[in-house]
Chain A
Amino acid sequence: MGPTLRRLLPDLWAVLLAVLLLGPALGAGYLLTYDMVWVPDLAVRGDFLGLGPALPRAVPSDLVVALADEVVPGMLLQKAVLLGCLAAGGLGAARLAGPGLVARSVAVSVAVWSPFVVERLWIGHWPVLLCWAALPWLVLAGARFRDESRVGAALPLLLLVGSLSANAGVMSAAVLLAVAATRRRRPLATLLVLVGAANAPWVVAGLLHASGATSDSTGSVFALNGDGLPAPLAALTLGGIWNAQVVPGSRDVLALGIVATGLLAAAAAYGLRPAWRRLGARTCGALAGLWVAGYLLAVLTWLAPDAIGWLAAHVPGGGLLRDGARWLALCVPLVVVLVAAGCERLVRRLRIPGLRPVVAIGAVLAPLALLPGAAWGLLGTMAPADYPDDYAAARAALSERPDGDLLVLPFSGFRAPAWNHGRTVLDPLPRYLQPDYVVNDELAVDSLVLAGEDPRTPQVYAALALPTEVARSAALTRLGIAMVAREHGVPALPTQDAPLAGVVLHDGPDVEVVRLAGSVDVREPSAGWVAAVTVAWSAYAGLLVAAGWNTFRLRRSGIRSSARGR
């Protein structure tokens, strides 16, 4: 095998695995699953900046998508993000695993074909997946920064990509600081500025909502789950999401889980020495610290779910801790490095040369064989969907709209429409339309209903419970709601779908849009909030400018040095 092919093979493997994992999701249409909602053209709106009354959970991801889909259509953007993220995560794992062909290929398989990726993909946590993809690259960039004290072009971009949600931002920051932090003041200050800028939008928006930044105490339902194994063992294999609905059935086979845990642990233990020698004590120590932090945070939600629920209910921001398996992303870099090194060492030690390709191929394919339910978009589950034409008509009807927010009825957060193959998804209609919106953010898990964080949710319920259409509409306009989009054919209680008084702007087969009767108390964010959010987003944009400037500078110096060479 030629050196070029040896170099390219793991990269091609990463792309192939990404395609194999997404399968039908790459076809025409939108992949809409649980929290993953992409629309043709997400409109920029004030709430995406973090100025809405509800705790901003999708800052900065929503605004970044809303701006990006001005350049690339939403459907293509979603494919690019998902495929690019999975492939980039594999490529990063390969780079982190060192130069050996076996190590790099195994690293790709272990990183990409992991329960963590499959479960987060199914539940639609794409910002977490982007963070997962950025982490190996952040380790490499962080180690380079530690040695050279130069920011370069990649580091700011990686931080931006890896910090599109609160959890993701914390994990990206933790990885960078653990690997790159030094005692020298200036590089340390540079790192802190970079991390602060990348996380500024959600941190500032969160602080502005600090009084409501607590969650339902029954949030313990989000604790680490075992996927058929005892939860701490499942966490060792990078799996254990709380929601059993998004776990491939093959994870329930106890024997497969035990084999996967045993193989992973044995390979990791065998790879400890070569990995330590290659990466050095400083980087390996950082990766080990991150693994311990990620594993403990995950297992803690299983060991002490009520304590985590209490934290989420009483400490602003404590809710970040409750989805324990999310923190397993911190374990990925060390697992990848150790398992890859262990397999490479095993193959090299085989005395019979003919056995080496057999064992190497077995090691590369083992993660796929142990999680076959993930193949081809979870065996065809992740088929894309097309929005009903009526959604576009409803959007057009709102092109000239009154000031005020949009309420979506029936007043429930999730849908499973037939056009989305009956798959559960966060209602996509409010994102499809243009105005700021009010949705029910309560979560039904098992037989529990967890209270939402938007203070208007109980107020809307109270308004909808009033006896007459006129009274209901008037109460809603006092909450700043000017329009209502009512979806037809959605199962709902009468209190979630009460009739209202107003002017019908659009009445189609899927959606009716009504302008409410009465004068609207349009909500305006305070000047202080606007100023704080502006500063935060300026810092975030500054990071993008810094990445662009550094790219330009590096290119210019490269052109100059090559001209001098001639």
Chain B
Amino acid sequence: MQAFLITCVSLLVGGGLAGATIVGVVNNQTAAPSQSPGDSTNPSLVYGQTE
């Protein structure tokens, strides 16, 4: 019984960690580019964007 419980918890913990990692990495790689597109009227670089 204990071995079964340990296996279940291990699968739960490992699966949770792996799932979170995959979701995070996929979102990271598919997110919109963080740099803003160029602005021909003001070519100075933006220091940052709040959105």
Contacts and interface: CB of A to CB of B under 8 A. Distances in A.
Interface string A102-131: 000000000000000000000100000000
A354 B46 contact: no
Nearest to A427: B45
A362 B17 contact: yes
Interface stretch (A149-157, A184-192, A241-249, A521-529): A241-249
B24 A256 contact: yes
Contact of A244 (B9, B17, B48): B48
Interface in B5-44: 5-6, 9-10, 13-14, 16-18, 20-21, 23-25, 27-31, 34-35, 38, 42-44
Contacts of A418: none
A372 to B, nearest CB: 4
B45 A444 contact: yes
Nearest to B47: A443
A358 B25 contact: no
A370 B20 contact: yes
Interface string A427-460: 0000000000000000111100100000000000
A379 B27 contact: no
A34 B47 contact: yes
Interface string A247-268: 0111011011001000000000
Contacts of B35: 245, 416, 422, 424
A414 interface: yes
B14 to A, nearest CB: 8
A1 interface: no
A265 to B, nearest CB: 17
Contacts, number: 130
B39 to A, nearest CB: 9
Contact of B24 (A244, A250, A414): A250
A416 to B, nearest CB: 6
Contacts of B45: 412, 414-416, 424, 444
Contacts of B31: 249, 252
Contacts of B28: 248-250, 372-373, 379
B37 to A, nearest CB: 13
A221 B16 CA distance: 36
Contacts of B3: 354
Contacts of A424: 35, 45-47
Interface stretch (A166-174, A390-398, A490-498): A490-498
Nearest to A370: B20
Contact of A369 (B6, B20, B49): B20
A248 B27 CA distance: 9
Interface in A397-426: 412-416, 422, 424
A563 interface: no
A372 B21 CA distance: 6
Contacts of A225: 50
13 contacts: A242-B48, A250-B23, A253-B23, A354-B3, A354-B6, A355-B6, A372-B20, A414-B45, A422-B35, A444-B46, A446-B49, A491-B38, A493-B43
Given A244-B34, A414-B44, 19 more contacts: A34-B47, A245-B49, A256-B23, A352-B6, A358-B10, A359-B9, A369-B17, A372-B24, A379-B29, A412-B44, A412-B45, A414-B47, A416-B35, A424-B47, A443-B47, A445-B48, A446-B51, A491-B43, A493-B43
